[in-house]
Amino acid sequence: MAMETDKTDGPVKVVDRRWWAQGETGAEPSAPRKPSYVEDLERQLAEKDKAIQAHAARYRESAAEFDQVRARLRRDLDKEIDRARRALLLDFLDVADNLDRAITAARAATTTDPALLKGVELVRDLFLAKLAASGITPLVSEGQAFDPRVHEAVSIVPVSEASRDEVVVAEVRKGYRIGEEILRPAGVVVGKVDSGQ
């Protein structure tokens, strides 16, 4: 008997039909899973997303810059308003000084009408009350230790007592503060002990 041999011309092909082994052949799929127009649309969508993100970032930067400019302008405006307010108030302090001078001169004169003097005093008191309502208060200087932040020395006089050294002995021009800030320093005469004694 002759033995029959199976002759095959090529390699043997094995097909794995197990359900869990589906798609594990290791070979790349021959055809794309998506149509080409879908890939084009996804690519366009990704480009548009990048453009939107770039525009959003530029918008956020512009908004932040705008907020900074607005804050700087607000600070500049507040400084300008404060400067103008201080200048106006300093002019008003000159009026208060002149009212005080008028009262001092009227008291020194012998022919002054008492009713006129009382009227000027009432005007000065009302004026100072209005200044106080605006937050402006006079400084108390006489008898206080000289402080260059609060006082402006217009002259120095010799004193004999050591306790009056570097102390304000007289006030030439009244000083005022607005809140905690000095609006105008007081013009004062400062006592100085003569070291040659």
3-class state of residue 169 by DSSP:
strand
- DSSP secondary structure letters along 90-142: HHHHHHHHHHHHHHHHHHH-SS--HHHHHHHHHHHHHHHHHHHHTTEEEPP-T
Q: What is each CA distance from 81 to 76, 100, 190, in whole angstroms?
A: 9, 29, 35
Residue 15: what pLDDT? Answer: 73
The one-digit pLDDT tens for each residue of the chain (197 residues) are 455 555 556 677 777 677 666 665 555 555 556 678 888 899 999 999 999 999 999 999 999 999 999 999 999 999 999 999 889 999 999 999 999 999 999 888 878 788 888 999 999 999 999 999 988 999 989 989 999 999 999 999 998 888 888 899 999 999 999 988 999 999 999 999 887 65
Q: What is the CATH number of domain 136-197?
A: 2.30.22.10
Residue 22: what pLDDT? Answer: 64
Residue 196: what pLDDT? Answer: 61
Residue 162: what pLDDT? Answer: 83
CB 177 within 8 A of CB 144: no
Residue 18: what pLDDT? Answer: 74
What is the tens place of the pLDDT at every residue in 21-75?
666 555 555 555 667 888 889 999 999 999 999 999 999 999 999 999 999 999 9
Which letter, b or e, does each residue of 163-197 get, where b requires 16 or more Cβ atoms within 10 Å of its Cβ? ebbebbbebebbbbbbeeebbbbbbbbbbbeeeee
The residue count for the chain:
197
Residue 30: what pLDDT? Answer: 58
Q: How far apart are CA 110 and CA 22, in angstroms?
A: 125
Q: How far apart are CA 97 and CA 151, in angstroms?
A: 16
Structure tokens at 99: 């009212």
Residue 113: what pLDDT? Answer: 86
